[in-house]
Structure 1
Amino acid sequence: MTATDRDILLTNDDGIDGDGLAALREELTELGTVTVVAPADNQSGVGRKRSRYTTRREHEWGYAIGGTPADCVAYALRGLDTDFDLVVSGCNYGPNMGAYVLGRSGTVGAAMEAAFLGTPAVAVSAYHDVEFFTRPPEEYDFSTPARIARELVADCLAANVFDQVDVLNVNVPCDASDPRVRVTHAHGDFDVRVEHRDPAEADPDDPPIAVGDDEELVTLWDKFWPHVEGYENPLTDVDAVRENYPVGSDRRAAIDGEVSVSPLSAPREPAHHETLDAIVERFNAQ
């Protein structure tokens, strides 16, 4: 099979009309036939959530699904006649890095759904070296993340990387023309800040929430960068946080403006603890 004979499924979590998906589709057509099956609307942050029922609407590139990214992948891999060689998810509007984030990301969730269904996948996310999140997307250029993703996909398919790797989680700076590429691991730090607030102080941009007379409003703020206040734009003072993240971690790569490529396995890796073995043995001996 040549590089241009591949059947590639393309999805995302920002919706089928997303600028990042369009840029990625344009690049991937150089590698083969690209079929788009993507959410009809924004599904960011849903992880690997699946639906029992969904809807399908024809689109010029494939199908728009009224569900989650994982729904899109499940439908395409089991509901279409194509035997896809690879699933690509993205480009996301902002990075997906850190072990906690990988479980929440719809972009990575789609890739994981594919891997569990036996098809390797690449999750592609774009970030800005200073502004971090690429929102609103129309103000950013996704050509570099899309190009680098295409080059990585081509090389990894040719070298049979996916014989041993289920998912590649890739984060690419959109504001660098020739960034360094680094193999990374998902960094584990994460925290939550809890605030008790008056319902009148709720953010008007958030979905409305009903608060009863005997209830108080509680906000749970994710701190994806625990060492930085205002994680949504953490790269303005990199010298203050750089050494908190080791070289080889996906977060350090973002701080240094690099392309982060994290190879992942789909099943949870088992952990072994001799003390647990002894506890179980005592149960069995009773």
Structure 2
Amino acid sequence: MTDILLTNDDGIDGDGLAALREELLDIGDVTVVAPADNQSGVGRKRSRYTTRESHEWGYAIAGTPADCVAYGLRGLDREFDLVVSGCNHGPNMGSYVLGRSGTVGAAVEAAYLGTPAVAVSAYHNVEFFTHPAAEFDFSEPTRVAGELTRAALDADVFEAVDILNVNAPCDATDPRLRVTHPHDDFDVRVEHRSVEESEVEDLPVDVEADDELVALNDKFWPHVENWENPMTEADSVRDRYPVGSDRRAVVDGEVSVSPLTAPHEAAHHEKLDAIVEQLNLS
């Protein structure tokens, strides 16, 4: 029997988590340790202190997904074979987003604690995001995640891979799976404006009348900013992303499966070696 620790970043009441739990029960024993409320976009943020509340599936933690994994793997009197995070209400792909994602952050925390992990996210071929989650069907992404997880465990894939980051469409039947790598397309557009030019009540920061506002607009895709839906003009960027990248797989309506390792690898550069050697001699 495989012992699975299940978490997410949308909160323990998330529709995606409930659907994924049902799928994983066919693989093994599932214990849920998930955030008490939505923790999207917190990455690998950890808390020094937190609280827990009993739940019919396990525990709700007043903290981040990484808190949940740390507690689940080290605070419960049991050993887990695998951590699964998701099913997220929206995709998590691209090198930059993987560092910001709470869903993937939970998987990375697990990997650093010596337990392999699968991060599962759902996207929609037209709407892109699956919000509000109650209006979307997570059965296909969770089915794919279940089959992939079972096969990966049977084939000992996690002897060489720490994390499988999976992005699957929720509006396709039997979508093609593709092994991918995270694409690094990302930029930021900075906008300056005064308080008078802005709708102050909609700002998530406290402002004074003479403050100068700075807006940091993320460009995860070249044709939209922040969390706008990129699928409306997906054909215009298809050729920008090579086959085998996670972005191309999503644009093509496929299941993106990115095998990842957790520790950062150092890059060797002979000129840097020479600089350090020179500085040592000076």
State the TM-score, normalized to the length of structure 1.
0.95
Instruction: Provide closer, same or farther for how the CA distance between residues 265 and 273 of structure 1 changes in structure 2, counting only shifts above 3 A.
Output: same
Partner of 2:65: 69
CA contact (8 A) 2:84 2:119 kept: yes
Q: Which amino acid aligns with 1:152?
A: L
Paired residues for 1:215-230 under 5 Å: 215-228=211-224
Identity of aligned residues (%): 74
Q: Does residue 1:95 correspond to 2:91, yes or no? A: yes
CA contact (8 A) 1:48 1:113 kept: yes
Q: Which amino acid aligns with 1:254?
A: V
Q: Which amino acid aligns with 2:178?
A: R
- For residues 148 and 205 of structure 1, the distance between their equivalents in structure 2, rounded to whole angstroms, comes to 39
Deviates more, 1:224-233 or 1:173-182: 224-233
Paired residues for 1:126-137 under 5 Å: 126-137=122-133
Partner of 2:121: 125
Deviates more, 1:95-104 or 1:215-224: 215-224
Q: Shift of the alpha carbon at 1:203? A: 7.3
Q: Deviation per CA, 1:57-105, whole angstroms, max 9, x where unpaired? A: 0000000000000000000000001110000000111100000000000
Q: Shift of the alpha carbon at 1:238? A: 2.3
Q: Does residue 1:145 correspond to 2:138, yes or no? A: no
Instruction: Provide closer, same or farther for how the CA distance between residues 76 and 219 of structure 1 changes in structure 2, counting only shifts above 3 A.
Output: same
Q: Does residue 1:234 correspond to 2:236, yes or no? A: no
CA contact (8 A) 2:12 2:36 kept: yes
Paired residues for 1:131-280 under 5 Å: 131-199=127-195, 201-202=198-199, 207=204, 209-228=205-224, 232-280=228-276
Give the number of aligned pairs. 281
CA contact (8 A) 2:194 2:211 kept: no
Q: Which amino acid aligns with 2:208?
A: G
CA RMSD, 1 decimal: 1.3
CA contact (8 A) 1:133 1:232 kept: no
- For residues 6 and 237 of structure 1, the distance between their equivalents in structure 2, rounded to whole angstroms, comes to 43
- The equivalent position to 1:14 in structure 2, one of 10, 13, 23, is 10
Q: Deviation per CA, 1:91-142, whole angstroms, max 9, x where unpaired? A: 1111000000000000000000000000000000000001100000011000
Q: Deviation per CA, 1:257-286, whole angstroms, max 9, x where unpaired? A: 000000000001111111100000001112
Q: Shift of the alpha carbon at 1:232? A: 2.3
Q: Which amino acid aligns with 1:135?
A: H
Q: Deviation per CA, 1:155-177, whole angstroms, max 9, x where unpaired? A: 00000000000000000000001
Runs of 4 or more, structure 1, over 3 Å off, are 202-206, 227-231
SS at match of 1:102: helix
| Gap runs ≥5 in structure 1 | none
SS at match of 2:222: coil
